[in-house]
Structure 1
């Protein structure tokens, strides 16, 4: 297993100083929210979910720390709760508004190794390799140490169990220190980093529990096994022993080369009912939107979906070592996983891919930034600097399999409908899948499905939705052939762009086991018309000023609310329905860079975007 971000950060190792040099020359700060900036109160009618990041890293992740990142957990937590901090490159950073919750997901493999080396820790000196690596770093060979570690990631080359015990206790202490129930929730957890042949099978493990339970087990890592099924067994043991609860959140299926949502086990065997039940139990949500690509749908598979091509990064696996095939794509994107789940259910009577969708950042510089105008990048090598959008981030075996810097998205957010801002309440919402993904925007999205709704129920959508139906992530059982209806409300990010449209994506399976998909426009802004096939043929337009990296909300809608029924409903067919909401076009981080630094960006790099949200599906079960 050649891991991970071996070249994502390695490609930027020698460039991390570029941002520092630029900072010395450029006195103007990049983040627009530092100093006395105040976004003001939220609108009274804003139906606010809780927004968080369940996936970002600090210097305690070996891939980041060994390459010189020194931003640790304290800075990461303080930035996430809205404080002004200093980034690796020397720029000041502040979020427009604090996050509600975070999971600091440093990699479990040699967790904290860079700090052990930096501090010449006596525990590390127990290892011959550790002693050698300390001397190499002192002699300026830190990058060579990193390569030695990364090229042998299958093996724990240190093998000092006391180090794990030491650092895991500190991870838990940090999470407990910053946990403020009701105001700011910090989850205990880490990233399990399996990548067989560089095909991404990473999961972030998130615990509902506190220190008492979490301290009973050390982090599970790819050193134990790269097989996610073995990891599930570990989770079962943890729950049975401690009485606690834990979820595994897959991410970046777009780099799994068809393994993330396969119809076979890790070892290539046929799926069993037990396998399906176990995966469904522990993997209730999937991260589908983040910096390293969006994994909702793919334009090659959904050519009739004009919005499927969004932060598309899918030419190979995460090291660019294996070329992608179309067959792999079908097992890498959420929409097609939902369809695959219907097929498996048709065969086994149970569906392993009834998961909800979330977003996060996967930032590796301790800074959870999600907005294009406040973009601090994947790591220090992609923090604000002239030309940071140009060049290769991960070098593949041939250039067309490489991952390019300018392809990166601004990030993502996990939105949760929870009653309280606590570990228990947020975790329970994740478990029941009452969550949605955004590409970084903080728009509000509500979806309810049921048989007894009418247009008038929209006046009290939330109360009627829970009383008469199910929320996003829920199941609707067949009701004597009756057609379900869906109540949908989307509200713009109070600090962001107006809304273009609300769409419903439907997938279904026929009696012969064939699957289908269709995208319906359910509500659109600016008095545009949806035709009788469920499509609005008029684009919303654009107000982007490319010379100044600005836009106006002269188009679009602040809110779109609708009651929608499937015009092609067949009561005999299992189906899923999920909502996608699009903002009007806005400047991308690359355009903000162009204006900020007065430098051109490379040919073919996009300068605009349409931020979006994906609500977890509601499943219709015909039987």
Structure 2
């Protein structure tokens, strides 16, 4: 039967008209091309991949990390980020659930490598009275060692280190230059374009009377350029704590090497009102055109969430925001600074700073706080662990153990930070064209980034004037997003309708929790200079309806307290919407960013209870709703 069928087919082919048997010409085939690519992926130039990474991690080379016991160096940190299993300082095997795509190691520039030499009793240290006292205490161990570490950090914060120690571990010294070269060489070894990007960087650790003004400096360049300079430090007489001097260093770096660099501030919540000034810097210098232009140029991003607290907003700044009180740290910078007061808060948090930027732009012509959002850990364990079920803490003394929840992380005159208050946060999502140093850095520079508190939630956010529901009738809404608008981090184009429209889309972490809702946060300024904010629920799960107060009811809670688990029986795996600002005024400066909220899940303290049998204090927070914050999109009136 098969032979008969085959014979029939062959016979039919043989009897086809002669014209049909002729091979089509190239010209005739090209005539089938309609003039527009059928393949939606051809000729695509916009970023189509989100890459996950970390821009703030410390190894044993950082003085504080080393002093508190971290023994893991550059190689362990890079290997861990790339997905390999390593042993922590406390001897525990540890591995990420999924490798990161990129990372910058940002050891403190001041006295880089000092801790390692202190434990070894290097002559440059023990030949000074201050250094010898610390060395002897370190040899005793226990509380004496902890006290010495705190004393050293306090002297650093107050600028009272022995000048001989500062000189021995400052740029230009043989010891310092060798350490910096090791940092560069390690990044070069682990950088693998297309698979893993190892960015070269450091942390400029400005402490003004203990108030945090830290910045992470991230270079776009390879080791050859980085070798031409050494990091900027803060200790006098060589260094400076003034951000304006850091901006000069960045400018000089680019001029001298032909390279590119940027800076990322973090933990304004520990700055006691110094991070986002509106009238004058801590130096007393007026906020003028020089300041706003320099900050706008060199600081395109802000680290909005990390282990030492979430920095989006504060419940006293945003009393109508039901999600404002999240991982809040606001009692001052440990015992290094004066106590916190409420009047400091507006100059400490990202949302308030974004609003202040609108006012400063109108006054001075440039917005110094026109920043995008990223998250990172600021871990001092050499381990970039931001997942609740895999959290290795801030420092080696709070790596997993039965004690770390109940014991204070630190107890000071300014307040107590209990061990459970540390936040397992965060990561940076970067929309880049490829996984290389240049592409990742360029995406950060143009602010096409977002922060998460740990989950790898995929988020797209576009602003324009003509988006409609049809633009979401596709599994690839980004095509319409770039065609008709601008992505997160951009400025709205010239108006073509009465109000801007925003397209936002979020997809849950494939191994994470479902989504509760998407919100759009708007900030704006009236003609008289009054600043406002409003949080809009724009997409949500489970067919809920807002109540009479306009608030959306809670999504529910499926957390199993006995098993440290949850179920995705509530929430949604993806949410998307087109939203039009209902109160748009074309004469008002404004910004908009998206906030994506997950359903409730266990915090790391609950995993400690289940896995280690740790006791949980009554006031400990054991459940949270993790989230993502996109970079804003800005609107500026004409003229």
TM-score, with structure 2 as normaliser: 0.86
Aligned to 2:416: 402
1:340 equivalent to 2:356? Answer yes
**Structure-2 residue corresponding to 1:452:** 466
Instruction: Please report how far the alpha carbon of residue 145 of structure 1 lies from its aligned counterpart in structure 2 after TM superposition.
Output: 4.9
Residue aligning to 1:68: 69
Structure 2 unaligned regions, length at least 5: 1-47
Normalised by the size of structure 1, how large is the TM-score?
A: 0.89
Is 1:181 matched up with 2:193?
yes
Is the contact between residue 203 and residue 248 of structure 1 (CA under 8 Å) also seen in structure 2? yes
Which residue number in structure 1 is paired with residue 93 of structure 2? 92
Other structure's SS at 1:116 match:
helix
> 2: CA distance between counterparts of 1:504 and 1:383?
36
Aligned-pair distance for 1:129?
6.4
Structure 1 residue 58, shift from structure 2 partner: 1.1
Q: 2: CA distance between counterparts of 1:167 and 1:89? A: 24
1:484 to 466, 483, 500: 500
Is 1:58–2:54 an aligned residue pair?
no
Give the match's secondary structure for 2:593: strand
Structure 1 stretch 132-141 or stretch 471-480: which is displaced more? 132-141
Q: Which runs of 5+ in 1 are unaligned?
A: 1-46
Distance apart, 1:603 and its partner CA: 1.7
- Contact 1:521–1:530 under 8 Å retained in 2: no
1:324, 1:409 → 2: CA distance? 20
Once residues 143 and 545 of structure 1 are traced to their aligned partners in structure 2, the CA distance between those partners, rounded to angstroms, is 38
Deviations 1:527-578 (A, max 9, x none): 1235798x45221101111011110001100000111111111111110000
2:63/2:111 contact within 8 Å kept: yes
The SS at the match of 2:212 is coil
Per the alignment, residue 49 of structure 1 pairs with 50
Q: CA RMSD in A?
A: 2.0
The 3-state SS of whatever aligns with 1:395 is strand
After superposition, the Cα gap between the structure-2 partners of 1:143 and 1:316, relative to the gap in structure 1 and judged at 3 Å, is: closer
Alignment partners' CA distance in 2, 1:390 and 1:133: 29
Note closer, same or farther for the CA distance 1:216–1:321 as it changes in structure 2 (3 Å cut). same
Measure, in 2, the Cα distance between the counterparts of 1:233 and 1:346. 25
CA–CA distance in 1 between the matches of 2:605 and 2:133? 42
User: In structure 1, what is the equivalent of residue 563 of structure 2?
Assistant: 548
How many residues matched? 574
The reply to whether residue 312 of structure 1 matches residue 315 of structure 2 is no
Are residues 1:151 and 2:163 paired?
no
Match of 1:33 in 2: none
1: distance between equivalents of 2:164 and 2:152? 8
Could you tell me whether the CA contact under 8 Å between 1:69 and 1:88 is conserved in 2?
yes
Q: Which residue of 2 aligns with 1:605?
A: 620
Offset, 1:324:
1.8
Cα drift, residue 391 of structure 1: 2.8
Counterpart for residue 464 of structure 1: 480
State yes or no: 1:330 paired with 2:346. Answer: yes
Aligned to 2:552: 537
> Counterpart of 1:31?
none
> 2:28: which partner in 1?
none
8 Å CA contact 1:321–1:397 kept in 2: the answer is no
CA distance in 2: counterparts of 1:350 and 1:621, whole angstroms:
11
Cα distance in structure 2, aligned partners of 1:531 and 1:565: 21
> Conserved in 2, the CA contact under 8 Å of 1:256 and 1:318?
no
Distance change in 2, residues 1:65/1:372 (3 Å): same
Q: Report the equivalent of 1:13.
A: none
Give yes or no for contact 1:501–1:560 (8 Å, CA) kept in 2: yes
CA distance in 2, matches of 1:128, 1:391: 33
* Aligned mates of 1:350, 1:262 — CA distance in 2: 14
How far apart, in 2, do the equivalents of 1:479 and 1:537 lie? Answer: 31
Aligned 8 A contact 2:68 2:396 in 1? no
CA distance in 1, matches of 2:120, 2:581: 62
> Deviations for 1:116-148, whole angstroms, at most 9, x for unmatched residues?
234555776887866776566556565565345
Q: Provide the rounded CA distance (Å) in 1 between the counterparts of 2:559 and 2:288.
A: 52
Q: Kindly tell me: are residues 438 and 620 of structure 1, through their superposed partners in 2, closer, same or farther at Cα, counting changes over 3 Å? A: same
Cα offset for 1:467?
Answer: 1.4
